[in-house]
């Protein structure tokens, strides 16, 4: 069970995982050793799944975001396995979500430019048969949360 200090530590680590333990400890009114033990416990209990580096998309040459809505013609197990393998094989596809409603999947694709979408499209359709794909170019990111709310755990 998490307490308020745990939640605050998790929020601070989500904002910057490289925050020194001393700063975290001061923010939550703990000694550095007690704070360090809490972080170790949060990792051991799976609240902290992993620590990664977030790269700057512009500096990496990937400023363009395209969302693709996919409708399938099949929901058979072998097709699903092929679809999972197909999207995993294309590094520009950074997120895939299965949906309810009129569409089956939404893909988030990061690209160097809009024209590069055709390259990704061809990579995908040569690997898997799709009923319909509709692409939507993101004009602006209004909100891109970097962390999760901590008040539900």
pLDDT band at 43 (very low <50, low <70, confident <90, very high): very high
How much is the pTM? 0.89
pLDDT recorded at residue 75: 87
Enumerate the CATH 3.30.70.920 domain ranges in the chain, comma separated.
Answer: 64-137
May I ask the CATH architecture of the domain 64-137? 2-Layer Sandwich (3.30)
Q: Pinpoint the residues of the chain covered by CATH 1.10.10.10.
A: 4-44
* Domain 4-44, CATH: 1.10.10.10
Is residue 114 within 8 A of residue 65, CB to CB? The reply is no
């Amino acid at each position: 069970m998490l307490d308020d200090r745990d939640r605050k530590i998790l929020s601070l680590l989500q904002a910057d995982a490289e925050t020194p333990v001393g700063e975290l400890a001061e923010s939550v009114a703990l000694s550095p050793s007690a704070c360090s033990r809490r972080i170790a416990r949060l990792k051991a209990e799976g609240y902290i799944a992993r620590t990664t580096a977030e790269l700057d998309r512009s500096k990496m040459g990937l400023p363009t975001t395209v969302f693709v809505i996919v409708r399938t013609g099949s929901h058979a197990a072998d097709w699903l396995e092929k679809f999972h393998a197909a999207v995993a094989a294309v590094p520009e596809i950074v997120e895939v979500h299965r949906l309810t409603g009129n569409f089956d999947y939404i893909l988030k694709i990061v690209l160097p430019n809009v024209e590069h979408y055709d390259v990704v499209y061809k990579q995908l359709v040569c690997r898997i048969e799709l009923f319909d794909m509709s692409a939507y170019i993101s004009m602006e990111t209004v909100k891109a949360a970097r962390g999760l709310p901590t008040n539900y755990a």
